[in-house]
Amino acid sequence: MNRFNDLRQKMNSKYRETVQRRYYTVTGENPNEKILDNLIATGESETFLQKAIQEQDRGHVMDTIMEIQEMHNAVKEMEKNLRELHQVFMDMAVLVQGQGKQLNDIESHVNRANSFVRGGTQQLEVARKYQRNTRKIISARRQGRGGVGWGGVGWRRILI
């Protein structure tokens, strides 16, 4: 009989701890002995806790739903931004493709201009050589040599 009473007392103690823990979980406050005894004696501990849990769960569910809705809206906004970014890249691709021919034309014109500049540089070197030779001839004629002393070298040989 003592074992039965001990077991009964142990079960009551555990049940009391359970009710106390649930009450604290629902309300955030530790119940005093009077509230705890009242809940256990009247049997309202289960109904009180169920109602509180349902209300809390409803609030918790509503909070969760709001959080999910906010995340969903953020994801939708991100999708919209990604679509806009994709469109920007597509527009850039079209522009680059459209201007690719122009870029190729510009490159070919630059290459042609480069070859013309090189050719012009060579022609300037030849012209400078002609200029020096012409100045020599003019200077010699002014000094009165006039062709004498040149050993019969023609104009063509002087210029080359």
The residue type at 123: Q
Cβ 49 vs Cβ 27: under 8 Å: no
Over residues 8-37, mean pLDDT: 81
Q: Which residues of 57-90 are buried (b: 16+ CB within 10 A; e: fewer)?
A: eeeeeeeeeeeeeeeeeeeeeeeeeeeeeeeeee
pTM (2 decimals)?
A: 0.35
Confidence of residue 160 (pLDDT cuts 50, 70, 90): low
Nearest one of 133, 135, 151 to 143, comparing CA atoms: 135
Q: What is the DSSP-derived secondary structure letter of residue 31?
A: P
pLDDT, one tens digit per residue, over 24-64 is: 777 778 888 888 888 877 877 677 767 766 776 666 656 76
pLDDT, one tens digit per residue, over 73-103 is: 888 899 999 999 999 999 988 888 888 888 8
